[in-house]
């Protein structure tokens, strides 16, 4: 799996954890190991510009996903996953820090960025949360991936609550 993490935000983030959880999420979703993903970490001004340009919404947001080849997980266990370019995930640590502090289960900015990375991966794979059934599926999968990743690393405590982007 080729995953690039590029921190342009000026804020120190745990880039290795972002890389690791993205790799874990893609493996868990059975995405071809030669697929490519880019994660870009930006400041609030850059995120606000992207949010306005692509969503026509004011202010910065926490995560945005820009799919390329519209890869999807294989439908069957014996089906070969397609290879391709997943696309870009853009994260904003300042928004993540605020969300982590305000969440019912307060957590760090880096924990929120890990959750948002999984959220972004799922969006790249075609998951959404516009409808209640879609939201339940996506957030359930998001929690399972984050919990699995945390469990493999022996991290204790509650996982961050699902983020709505």
| Domain ranges, ordered by start, for the chain | 1-72+81-151
The residue with tokens 């370019």 is: 85
Query: Does residue 51 have a known ligand-binding role?
Result: no
The whole-model pTM stands at 0.90
Report which of 119, 123, 133 is spatially closest to residue 87, judged by C-alpha positions.
123
pLDDT band for 156, please (50, 70, 90 cuts): low
Task: Supply the pLDDT for residue 32.
Answer: 87
Task: Supply the pLDDT for residue 157.
Answer: 61
pLDDT band for 142, please (50, 70, 90 cuts): very high
pLDDT in tens, 21-71: 999 999 999 998 889 999 999 999 999 999 999 999 999 999 999 999 777
d(CA 88, CA 155): 27
Cβ–Cβ < 8 Å for 137, 125: no
**CATH, domain 1-72+81-151, list 3.30.1490.20, 3.40.50.300, 3.40.1280.10, 3.40.390.30:** 3.40.390.30
State percent of the chain over pLDDT 90: 75
Query: Does residue 119 have a known ligand-binding role?
Result: yes
Q: Is the per-residue pLDDT at 97 higher than 60?
A: yes
């Amino acid at each position: 799996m080729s995953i690039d993490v590029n921190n342009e935000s000026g804020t120190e983030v745990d880039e290795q954890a972002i890389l690791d959880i993205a790799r874990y999420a893609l493996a868990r979703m059975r995405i071809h190991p030669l697929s490519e993903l880019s994660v870009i970490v930006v400041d609030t001004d850059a995120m606000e510009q992207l949010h306005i340009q692509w969503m026509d919404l004011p202010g910065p947001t926490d995560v945005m996903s820009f799919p390329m080849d519209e890869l999807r997980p294989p439908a069957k266990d014996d089906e070969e996953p397609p290879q391709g370019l997943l696309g870009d995930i853009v994260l904003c640590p300042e928004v993540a820090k605020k969300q982590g502090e305000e969440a019912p289960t307060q957590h760090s900015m880096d924990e929120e960025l890990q959750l948002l990375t999984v959220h972004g991966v799922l969006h790249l794979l075609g998951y959404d949360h516009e409808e209640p059934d879609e939201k339940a599926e996506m957030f359930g999968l998001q929690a399972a991936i984050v919990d699995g990743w945390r469990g493999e690393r022996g991290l204790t405590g509650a996982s961050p609550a699902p983020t709505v982007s």
